[in-house]
């Protein structure tokens, strides 16, 4: 009679493995530490340990470095990954590089997104790194799982993950007439990744530290819009404006100075980074996507 | 008595030491090498101290490290003047004549390389997150370094600059027109570089090739040849060109993980 193998479900990536190594083979999180959760429910995503190996299909990915980590792939002949061409750091001559055409070229150019991706096919080694300090996040994806990622966070993905992009649907305007200004706190577009045939590996790069949280159905949380990294497709989002109480009812603080929040609504997982851009707070909101308002 | 060999610079150290007295690399930690043979530059511990000639160098900080040099009388270091963080008032300064003024202007390189002479202390740092890479150079060694990447060199090292050969390499290589060349003659020397992000090194065998993003190139032994390789890509009717630096051994190649991408159209 065979003994059933011990199974381990990683609390960070929710994937099952044998748990016999010191790091999760799917996402690189340590298996020998307790999950660190703040009192309010945010779990700190641990940095991938130096030289930790992740496994996908028949290939491995080794992450090294602390400030601007490098993801080095040891590609099997039948495996391939895709990425934006400017993140390629080094490659062996045996790795085949070709272009992966993106749909909607004109809109992508308008949105400042890359017009094409590079596809690298094994066998051989190649390495990818971002161009600013931060953490490399491994997001292993179950079959049919879909997540939305804020633009310019994407580093590399296995080719069994489908890549689409769509409008973020989160925007507002200030001013009117010819002076109307459009604001996109999340960017105009978001990347959507879907694991189609089997599970796949997605690597993102985000500055600062990363925190994750599972929202219950109907649960809300307000975050700085530019701190969002990714969310499950099931998580809804809309803008929320908060106006501070002014000294006088006619104070400009009542209509111009405001806090811009992104409200996320469960169910699903969200990931945020501790570094974010200063939001644009000046100007009276004249229109935009669905939003809520609070006057204090 | 057994001595410990530093895995980074191969210097011999006394058994009681925890960091190499020549390059500061931790001696009690395993060298981290990836599956394809890229070794991480040793992460120098805060306040690590090592020696050159009769002087010492201490590395302070980890995110944008500072190299603090305690120069002995008769010793000197050279550097680009804008990397100077602070100095003691009594440290004499002079300028090194680099020659080739017009070429350096065209190449966007500094005309004046500053020299600080001992005795006294001086501290140097660059302007972004990265690592200080300590490269002890043996007598008769030649090393080519990406322009604006060196932090300091000791007085026993000859500094010059070489034009990157081939118009394609200059236009598309992403490393500029010139590379700094450091040569030691009869005495050993110490070279400090600042690599943006993390730094990795690979030793190529004769004829072995590796393709590197040109912006990621940091340094190489002069025995390593560098050529620009054009990677042609097609999307429908459009053709795109992407340029990579093809490095061919024998010798060491150093790369940095944070860079500005160059050379695609």
Task: Give me the mean pLDDT over the B18-47 stretch.
Answer: 93
pLDDT of residue B172 exceeding 60, the answer is no
- Neighbouring CB atoms inside 10 A of B87's CB total 16
Check residues A205 and B101 and name the one with the higher pLDDT: A205
Check residues A295 and A238 and name the one with the higher pLDDT: A238
What is the longest distance spanned by two Cα atoms in chain B?
A: 70
Instruction: Report if residue B123 sits inside a domain.
Output: yes
- Among A50, A68, A92, the residue with its CB nearest the CB of B257 is A68
Q: Which residues of A touch B36 (CB under 8 A)?
A: 72, 74, 92, 125, 127
For residue A54, the model assigns a pLDDT of 93
- Among A60, A68, A92, the residue with its CB nearest the CB of B197 is A68
Instruction: Report if residue A263 sits inside a domain.
Output: yes
Q: For chain A, what is the domain count?
A: 1
How do residues B143-162 score in pLDDT, each as one tens digit? 999 988 899 999 999 988 87
pTM listed for this prediction: 0.85
- In our burial notation (b when 16+ CB lie closer than 10 A, e otherwise), range B115-137 reads ebbbbbbbbbbbeebbbbbbbbb
pLDDT of residue B241 exceeding 50, the answer is yes
How do residues A225-248 score in pLDDT, each as one tens digit? 999 999 999 999 999 998 877 655
Burial of A272 (0-12, 13-18, 19+ CB in 10 A): buried
- Among A86, A97, A115, the residue with its CB nearest the CB of B261 is A86
For residue B36, the model assigns a pLDDT of 93
Per the CB < 8 A criterion, the answer to whether A274 and A227 are in contact is yes
CB contact under 8 A, A86 and B257: no
For residue A83, the model assigns a pLDDT of 94
Instruction: Report if residue A278 sits inside a domain.
Output: yes
For residue A4, the model assigns a pLDDT of 46
User: Domain residues for B114?
Assistant: 4-198
Q: Which residues of B touch A60 (CB under 8 A)?
A: 35
C-alpha of A32 from chain center: 25
Q: Return the percentage of chain A with pLDDT > 70, whole number.
A: 89
CB contact under 8 A, B264 and A85: yes
For residue B265, the model assigns a pLDDT of 39
Instruction: Report if residue A1 sits inside a domain.
Output: no
- Among B36, B130, B234, the residue with its CB nearest the CB of A72 is B36
- Write phi, then psi, for B33 (nearest 5 degrees): -125, 130
Per the CB < 8 A criterion, the answer to whether A281 and A257 are in contact is yes
pLDDT mean across residues, chain A: 87
Confidence of residue B262 (pLDDT cuts 50, 70, 90): very low
Check residues A18 and B175 and name the one with the higher pLDDT: A18
Radius of gyration of chain B, Cα coordinates, nearest whole angstrom: 19
For residue B261, the distance in angstroms to the closest alpha carbon of chain A comes to 6
- Among B36, B198, B240, the residue with its CB nearest the CB of A66 is B198
Instruction: Report if residue A3 sits inside a domain.
Output: no
Check residues A57 and B99 and name the one with the higher pLDDT: A57
pLDDT of residue A174 exceeding 60, the answer is yes
Confidence of residue A198 (pLDDT cuts 50, 70, 90): confident
How do residues B54-93 score in pLDDT, each as one tens digit? 999 999 998 899 999 999 999 999 998 889 999 999 999 9
How do residues A67-124 score in pLDDT, each as one tens digit? 999 999 999 999 999 998 889 999 999 999 988 877 666 666 666 666 678 999 989 9
For residue A265, the model assigns a pLDDT of 96
pLDDT of residue A255 exceeding 80, the answer is no
A181 touches chain B (CB under 8 A): no
For residue A14, the model assigns a pLDDT of 84
Instruction: Report if residue B249 sits inside a domain.
Output: no
pLDDT of residue A251 exceeding 90, the answer is no
Q: For chain B, what is the domain count?
A: 1
A65 touches chain B (CB under 8 A): yes
For residue A123, the model assigns a pLDDT of 96
Show which residues on chain B lie within 8 Å of chain A, measured between beta carbons. Answer: 32, 34-36, 38, 40, 43, 63, 129-131, 196-198, 200, 209-213, 216, 231, 233-236, 240, 242, 244, 255, 257-261, 264
| Window A:18-57, CB contacts with B under 8 Å | 50-51, 53
Q: What is the ipTM of this complex?
A: 0.82
- Among B34, B198, B213, the residue with its CB nearest the CB of A68 is B198
Confidence of residue A1 (pLDDT cuts 50, 70, 90): very low
CB contact under 8 A, B129 and A133: yes
A60 touches chain B (CB under 8 A): yes
CATH, residue A251: 3.60.160.10
- Among B198, B236, B260, the residue with its CB nearest the CB of A67 is B198
Per the CB < 8 A criterion, the answer to whether B123 and B87 are in contact is yes
| Window A:208-267, CB contacts with B under 8 Å | none
Interface test with A, best of B213, B234, B246, B255 (most A CBs within 10 A): B213
User: Domain residues for A136?
Assistant: 8-295
CATH, residue B181: 3.60.160
For residue B19, the distance in angstroms to the closest alpha carbon of chain A comes to 20
Give the side-chain half-sphere CA count within 13 A for B154: 28
Burial of B3 (0-12, 13-18, 19+ CB in 10 A): exposed
Q: Which residues of B touch A62 (CB under 8 A)?
A: 34-35
Check residues B141 and A198 and name the one with the higher pLDDT: B141
Element spanning B30, H or E: none
For residue A2, the model assigns a pLDDT of 46
Instruction: Report if residue B174 sits inside a domain.
Output: yes
Check residues A82 and A8 and name the one with the higher pLDDT: A82
How do residues A123-139 score in pLDDT, each as one tens digit? 999 999 998 899 999 99
Task: Establish whether the linkage from the previous residue to A123 is cis, with ω within 30° of 0.
Answer: yes
How do residues A23-50 score in pLDDT, each as one tens digit? 888 898 888 777 778 888 899 888 898 9
Map residue A270 onto helix, strand or coil. Answer: strand
Residue of A nearest to B229 (CA): A93
For residue B198, the distance in angstroms to the closest alpha carbon of chain A comes to 6
Element spanning B46, H or E: none
Calpha distance A194→A154 (Å, rounded): 13
């Amino acid at each position: 009679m065979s003994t059933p193998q011990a199974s381990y479900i990683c609390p960070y990536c929710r994937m099952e493995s044998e748990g016999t190594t010191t790091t999760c083979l799917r996402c690189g999180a340590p298996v020998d530490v307790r999950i660190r959760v703040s009192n309010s429910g945010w779990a700190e995503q641990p940095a991938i340990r130096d030289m930790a190996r992740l496994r996908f299909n028949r290939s491995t990915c080794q992450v090294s470095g602390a400030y601007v980590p490098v993801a080095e792939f040891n590609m099997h002949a039948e495996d391939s990954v895709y990425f934006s061409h400017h993140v390629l750091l080094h490659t062996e001559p045996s790795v085949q590089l070709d272009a992966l055409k993106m749909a909607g070229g004109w809109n992508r150019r308008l949105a400042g997104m890359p017009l094409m991706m590079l596809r690298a096919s094994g066998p051989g080694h190649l390495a990818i790194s971002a161009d600013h300090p931060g953490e490399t996040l491994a997001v292993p994806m179950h079959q049919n799982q879909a997540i939305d990622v804020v633009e310019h966070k994407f580093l590399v993905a296995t080719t069994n993950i489908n890549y689409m992009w769509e409008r973020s649907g989160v925007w507002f305007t200030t001013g009117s007439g010819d002076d109307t200004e459009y604001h996109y706190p999340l960017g105009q577009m978001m990347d959507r990744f879907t694991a189609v045939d089997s599970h796949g590996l997605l690597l993102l790069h985000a500055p600062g530290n990363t925190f994750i949280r599972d929202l219950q159905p109907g649960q809300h949380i307000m975050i700085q819009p530019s701190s969002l990294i990714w969310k499950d497709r099931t998580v809804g989002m809309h803008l929320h404006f908060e106006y501070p109480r002014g000294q006088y009812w006619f104070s400009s603080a009542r209509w111009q100075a405001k806090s811009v929040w992104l409200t996320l609504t469960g169910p699903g997982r969200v990931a945020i980074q501790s570094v974010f851009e200063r939001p644009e707070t000046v100007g009276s909101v004249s229109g935009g996507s669905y939003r809520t308002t609070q006057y204090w | 008595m057994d001595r410990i060999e530093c895995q980074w610079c191969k210097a011999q150290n006394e058994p009681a030491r925890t960091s190499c007295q020549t390059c500061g690399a931790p001696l009690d930690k395993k060298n981290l090498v990836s599956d394809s043979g890229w070794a991480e530059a040793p992460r120098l511990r805060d306040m690590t101290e090592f020696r050159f000639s009769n002087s010492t160098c201490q590395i302070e900080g980890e995110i944008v490290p500072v190299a603090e040099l305690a120069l002995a009388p008769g010793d000197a270091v050279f550097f680009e003047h804008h990397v100077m963080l602070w100095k003691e008032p009594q440290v004499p300064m002079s300028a090194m004549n680099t020659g080739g003024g017009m070429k350096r202007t065209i190449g966007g390189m500094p005309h004046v390389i500053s020299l600080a002479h001992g005795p006294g202390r001086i501290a140097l740092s660059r302007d972004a997150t990265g690592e200080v890479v300590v490269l002890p150079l043996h007598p008769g060694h030649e090393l080519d370094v990406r322009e604006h990447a060196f932090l300091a060199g000791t007085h026993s090292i000859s500094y010059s600059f070489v034009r990157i050969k081939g118009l394609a390499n200059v236009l598309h290589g992403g490393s500029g027109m010139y590379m700094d060349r450091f040569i030691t003659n009869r005495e050993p020397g110490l070279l400090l570089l600042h690599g943006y992000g993390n730094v990795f090194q690979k030793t190529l065998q004769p004829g072995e090739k590796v393709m590197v993003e040109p912006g990621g190139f940091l340094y190489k032994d002069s025995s390593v040849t560098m050529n620009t390789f054009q990677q042609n890509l097609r999307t429908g009717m459009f053709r795109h060109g992407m340029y990579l630096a093809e490095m061919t051994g024998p010798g060491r190649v150093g790369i940095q993980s944070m860079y500005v991408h160059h050379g695609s159209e």
